[in-house]
């Protein structure tokens, strides 16, 4: 019986060391060397202080800022510990009420804007953590942000273009912009003082 158990225990020990220790350490080392920013969480800093990650959205509610895609995570928006969508279908009354409220909030923030509201400004992503919005969502908000910051709309459009990312590998997704990076660029251009 010992001759049967011994190889199983040895194999268990070898696999535990290989898969539970050596492999994770090797992958962490390679990731840290090859992709240091991403392995460190893609942290964005202002004056040497971390202000957020380029990979996880943040909630902006002031009309001076671009607003990101809504988050359905609970108990607070953009909660990385509770990543996930609302799992509500388009016929769910709670879902339609939430979308309607988001549309009304966007219209109230910029009542003179006649442009159609891009869908990514009123619907949450599957993860609830999306840090980016489409270029059309950024352009929809540009007029409001420019008016609140008392700068020319062309300056805001230039910042959007400067921070825009193209399709992944040239074919996947759509052009987009990182909301936190764009808002930080706005703060550098027009500080909080009025």
Q: How many CB atoms lie within 10 A of CB 136?
A: 17
> Cα(54)–Cα(176) distance, rounded to whole angstroms?
13
Ramachandran angles phi, psi of 128, nearest 5° = 75, 5
Q: What is the pLDDT of residue 192?
A: 61
The pTM score is: 0.81
Nearest CA to 178 out of 53, 77, 74 is that of 53
Q: Percentage of the chain with pLDDT > 90?
A: 57
Residues 121-150 have pLDDT tens digits of 999 888 888 999 999 999 999 999 999 999
Q: Which residues contact 87 (CB under 8 A, 6 or more apart)?
A: none
Q: Is the pLDDT of residue 112 over 60?
A: yes
Residues 57-101 have pLDDT tens digits of 999 999 999 999 999 887 788 888 888 877 888 888 989 999 999
> Cα(65)–Cα(146) distance, rounded to whole angstroms?
9
Please give the residue that has the higher pLDDT: either 169 or 117: 117
Judge contact between 129 and 71, C-beta under 8 A. yes
Looking at every residue in the chain, the average pLDDT score rounds to 90
Residues 25-63 have pLDDT tens digits of 999 999 889 988 878 888 888 888 988 888 889 999 999
For residue 119, what are the CA distances in angstroms to 102, 108, 139, 140? 10, 17, 13, 11
Bridge-based pairing state of the strands 132-134 and 176-178: antiparallel
Q: What residue spans define the domains of the chain?
A: 1-40, 41-189
Q: Is the peptide bond before 75 cis (omega within 30 degrees of 0)?
A: yes
> Cα(174)–Cα(135) distance, rounded to whole angstroms?
8
């Amino acid at each position: 019986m010992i001759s049967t158990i011994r190889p199983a225990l040895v194999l268990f020990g070898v696999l535990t060391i290989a898969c539970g220790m050596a492999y994770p350490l090797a992958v962490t080392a390679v990731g840290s060397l090859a992709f240091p920013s991403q392995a460190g969480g893609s942290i964005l800093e202002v004056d040497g202080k971390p202000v957020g990650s380029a990979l996880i959205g943040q909630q902006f509610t002031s009309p001076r800022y671009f607003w990101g895609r809504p988050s359905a995570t609970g108990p607070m928006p953009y909660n990385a510990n509770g990543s996930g969508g609302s799992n509500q279908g388009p016929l769910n009354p709670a879902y339609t009420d939430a979308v309607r409220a988001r549309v009304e909030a966007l219209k109230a923030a910029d009542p003179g804007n006649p442009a159609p509201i891009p869908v990514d400004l009123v619907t949450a992503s599957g993860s609830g953590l999306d840090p980016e919005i489409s270029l059309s969502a950024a352009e929809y908000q540009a007029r409001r942000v420019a008016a609140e910051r008392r700068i020319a709309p062309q300056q805001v459009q230039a910042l959007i273009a400067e921070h825009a990312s193209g399709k992944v590998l040239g074919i996947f997704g759509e052009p987009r912009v990182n909301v936190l990076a764009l808002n930080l660029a706005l703060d550098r251009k027009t500080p909080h003082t009025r």
